[in-house]
Structure 1
Amino acid sequence: MKLFECTFGIIELFRKRLRPAISGALLAAWLAALLPSAALAGTDLVFGTYAADKPTATVKQYQPFLSYLSGRMSEELGEPVTIRLKIAKEYEEGIRQLASGEVDFARFGPASYVHVMKENPGIRIIAMESKNGQKRFKGVIVVHHDSSVQSVEELAGLTFAFGDELSTIGRYLAQEYLLEAGISSADLHEFAYLGRHDLVGEAVGAGRYTAGALKESTYKKLVAKGVPIRVLASFDNVTKPWLASADMPENVLEAMRRVMLSSEHEEIVRRISRNGFLLGEDQDYDIIRRAMERSLAF
């Protein structure tokens, strides 16, 4: 603080004694030369995601981890790292923001990763979330707790709620699962895309739809809140990738990866990914590509 107070005092004296015509650019150059380089250096990053659940819950979920990540990356890089959070309202907007470099890194669902790679093949996987040391977890199809439906095949002629049209669980994997049970859109009385996972569960609990697809973690939260739903079926999904924009410097990406891969026992990290992170590769998402292709027949 004393350095800055002294520097700005000298600048004021400099202004008074020299001609009024002195330019701001010259002063800025003089200040840059006077101050230590460490005081001016730094890395500013924007983290992007979309609201698969309520936006307020998304902010609450990410802020502690992003603060932790910026602190650890500052140590790794030897310079201040700041991270801002940017939440897209819809999946498509979030995909566009990462593909265009509007955000520097992001946490996406697997299907969104496949989509963003089509828009910008320069996107890179920083790490994948771990579920008990594995790269797979469950999506679920739910019905009302009191529903008489006991199998997916019984959904023919009834109604179904999907999530976002670009959702891995909420659309692609659920539709692949229905197709394997012999049910296409023509076999349903009605279906709709409701967007967020929590909206799907709440709609099924309220009786507006017979069944719906959502992620298992959201299902558990809704049941804990008293939403009357139960699991009818479950299916495998791949854990979420954390992705770097094509423009992120390699040293920044590597620093972020080192922090994430070495942080599995940190409580703040466990709130984001309960078992930390794993190295990820593009082929880890081949089953998602297959589901996206098969869902075209839905």
Structure 2
Amino acid sequence: MERLITYKLPKFGFPRLLAIIGCWAYLALPSQADISLTFGTYAADKPTETVRKYRPFLSFLEIELSKALGEAVSIKMVIAKEYEHSIDQLANGEVDFSRFGPASYVLATKKNPDVEIIAMESQKGQKRFKGVIAVHEESEINDLSELAGHSFAFGDELSTIGRYLSQALLLSAGISGADLQTYEFLGRHDRVGTAVGSERFTAGALKESTFKKLVKSGVPIRELTTFDNVTKPWLASSTLAPHVVEAMRHIMLEEANASAVKQIAKHGFLEGDDADYQLVRDAMEDSQSF
């Protein structure tokens, strides 16, 4: 005859028993990051290129922030299709930090003045770099004033180079929208360059790095003129904890991190201030009369 063996459980009150079961359930759960951050940007180039560009640096930032804050940090990336959506996401605190063009920064601060500059990218130790007005390599146009009566390709309607600075430059050469045969906003910088190369448009505005890539790949365009732009700021939403912002800033500016930082900012980062973007504010104001 089989012998039944029983064990007598300790006498716990029902509330205490629930607490113990709750602890067991908690310990059984997979570990999760203590701090989850969302990085937001927009697809100025192809989305796949955007992911390839940012992910290595964001992974580095996860590691360094975890060390600095003493808590595990994870960072996910959100890529908006349009500039305006990305600006709203940062201004509304839907993302924690972003890398924007200067005009998008100006617009974000109009929506939420508490958006903060973490750092700004360096261009060989400077805070300025170039935008390009490009024409077809066989174009006979050699001066901006000669664009009257011709077509022009802009980037996004909220783009610093692709709209505001290039429109201000055209105005300074005596060319307004009414003086052009036609103009369109094509979105990404690479689309502008290829449209000029295929002669859909006489000229177009795009960032210098994209211009050089397109020329290298065989797109038949050449530089008509260049103009100054301010390097991109990395921004924190008003809802991101100050100690996280400061830790992020320290990591970006720390000389010891230079090799890792160069994955995303070839020449590193500099401390940034709102006044650095006055050039862009002025151009945005001027472009209203385009």
Q: Same fold (TM over 0.5)?
A: yes
Aligned AA for 2:84?
E
Q: Distance in 1 between matches of 2:20 and 2:282?
A: 59
Quickly say closer, same or farther: Cα 1:263–1:225, change in 2 above 3 A: farther
Q: Secondary structure of the residue that 1:288 maps to in structure 2? A: helix
1:157 aligns with 2:157: no
Aligned AA for 1:260?
M
Q: Secondary structure of the residue that 1:235 maps to in structure 2? A: strand
Shift of 1:18: 9.8
> Corresponding residue for 2:89?
97
Shift of 1:272: 1.5
1:88 aligns with 2:106: no
1:258 aligns with 2:250: yes
Q: Is this contact kept in 2: 1:264–1:276, CA < 8 A?
A: no
1:272 aligns with 2:264: yes
Quickly say closer, same or farther: Cα 1:208–1:254, change in 2 above 3 A: same
Shift of 1:271: 3.0
Q: Distance in 1 between matches of 2:37 and 2:257?
A: 25
* TM-score for the superposition, normalised by structure 2: 0.90
Within-5 A mapping of 1:214-225: 214-225=206-217
1:205 aligns with 2:197: yes
Larger Rg: 2
Q: Is this contact kept in 1: 2:251–2:257, CA < 8 A?
A: no
Q: Secondary structure of the residue that 2:40 maps to in structure 1? A: strand
Shift of 1:266: 3.5
Q: Distance in 1 between matches of 2:99 and 2:73?
A: 19
Gaps of 5+ in 1: 1-13
Quickly say closer, same or farther: Cα 1:26–1:122, change in 2 above 3 A: farther
Q: Is this contact kept in 2: 1:158–1:189, CA < 8 A?
A: yes
Q: Secondary structure of the residue that 2:125 maps to in structure 1? A: coil
Aligned AA for 2:35?
T
Q: Distance in 2 between matches of 1:278 and 1:171?
A: 25
Q: Distance in 2 between matches of 1:225 and 1:264?
A: 35
Aligned sequence identity (%)? 59
Q: Distance in 1 between matches of 2:33 and 2:55?
A: 23
1:182 counterpart (174, 177, 186): 174
Q: Distance in 2 between matches of 1:264 and 1:162?
A: 40
Quickly say closer, same or farther: Cα 1:40–1:252, change in 2 above 3 A: same
> Corresponding residue for 2:159?
167
> Corresponding residue for 1:245?
237
Aligned AA for 2:264?
I
Q: Distance in 2 between matches of 1:236 and 1:98?
A: 26
Shift of 1:222: 0.7
Quickly say closer, same or farther: Cα 1:104–1:28, change in 2 above 3 A: farther
Q: Distance in 1 between matches of 2:270 and 2:115?
A: 18
Within-5 A mapping of 1:18-37: 27-28=21-22
* TM-score for the superposition, normalised by structure 1: 0.88
Gaps of 5+ in 2: 1-8
Q: Spell out, residue by residue over 1:181-204, the C-alpha distance to the aligned partner (whole angstroms, 9 max, x if none).
A: 000000000100000000000100
1:141 aligns with 2:133: yes
Q: Is this contact kept in 2: 1:127–1:242, CA < 8 A?
A: yes
Aligned AA for 1:154?
E
Q: Distance in 1 between matches of 2:180 and 2:20?
A: 71
> Corresponding residue for 2:52?
60
Q: Distance in 2 between matches of 1:182 and 1:163?
A: 21
Q: Distance in 1 between matches of 2:150 and 2:33?
A: 60
Shift of 1:122: 1.1
